[in-house]
Structure 1
Amino acid sequence: MQRKFKYPPPPNSSTPSQLIDAKIAELKDWRGAMLARVRALIIEVDPDVVEEVKWRGVPVWEHAGIICTGETYKSAVKLTFAKGAALKDPMRLFNGSLEGNTQRAIDLHEGAVIDEEAFKALIRAAVALNMSKIASPKKAASAGKALEAARYRNFPF
């Protein structure tokens, strides 16, 4: 599956999407199937999602910021939402990292059945939150100041 990525890979190297494909393939148990299903749901909700691989091979899905990561452990697939504390979770999918001020996680164990509609709603909400942060006047003003500073730095006096 070929997806969008932020930066072109070096010649003769794998794209982030190919690395995620390989990670799923190397997990020959329920974790690979779960990660593949979650990935498919994310792409279904947001076809413009950008796939990255960070932090020693952790799949990351982004759209105007990190939506979530897909970490795999011996007994769990952990989906960590970067700004999960700011998201409404009426179906109570978040069951990990509940004590933090920013992140929330969904820990999926063998045999778990994910509520796909509730999960897709969380993905939509995470993308909307990321987009709202970019569109905020404070961010726009900050970006404008940075652009202005860059112009002066690059202007030959």
Structure 2
Amino acid sequence: MSKSESQKEKSPSQMIDERIRDLGDWRGKMLSQLRALIKQAVPEVVEEWKWRGVPVWYHDGMICTGETYKNVVKVTFAKGAALDDPSGLFNSSLDGNARRAIDFQEGDEIDEEALKALVRAAVTLNASRAKA
């Protein structure tokens, strides 16, 4: 069985579990924490696995992605430019007219309540646009 065939048999959640396990360092722990917070904020969130290995969270549309790089774990909100960010979490991809991102580096603390509020705001925005 080829790798692509075995991946087709796994759920997106299982593939995200594998990614976290395979990273085996601070990035895996950070991605795991971020994932847990997203699920706490929106328990009915749907997880997907896109673009050859990017976790994506959906509810009435895309909420955000969880990308891992050598020195950063990036959470990109698909409609971040349309969201209020009173806590100033967005620190990356600030120039575009749609997306906004939060780059987490090793040792960064997560403002859990602010992140959950941002996730909920993204879901509210998605729901309002889905009804329009």
TM-score by length of 2: 0.93
1:88 aligns with 2:84: yes
Q: Deviations over 1:43-89 (max 9, x none)?
A: 01111100000011100000011100000000000000000000000
Which residue does the alignment assign to 1:102? 98
Distance (Å, rounded) in 2 between the aligned partners of 1:81 and 1:37: 17
Distance in 1 between residues matched to 2:29 and 2:70, nearest whole Å: 14
- Greater C-alpha Rg: 1
Indicate whether 1:65 and 2:61 are aligned. yes
Which consecutive residues of structure 1, in runs of 5 or more, have no partner in the other structure?
A: 1-9, 137-157
Residues of 2 paired with 1:65 and 1:49: CA distance?
10
* RMSD value, Cα: 1.1
**Partner residue in 2 for 1:126:** 122
Structure 2 residue ranges without an equivalent (≥5): 1-5
List 4+ stretches of structure 1 deviating above 6 A. none
Aligned residues with identical type, % of pairs: 63
Q: Deviations over 1:75-110 (max 9, x none)?
A: 000000000000000110000000000000000000
Residue 38 of structure 2 corresponds to 42
Counterpart in the other structure of 2:3: none
The alignment of Structure 1 onto Structure 2 pairs a total of residues equal to 126
TM-score (ref. length: structure 1): 0.79
Higher relative contact order (CA 8 A, sep 6+): 2
Q: Shift of the alpha carbon at 1:114?
A: 1.0
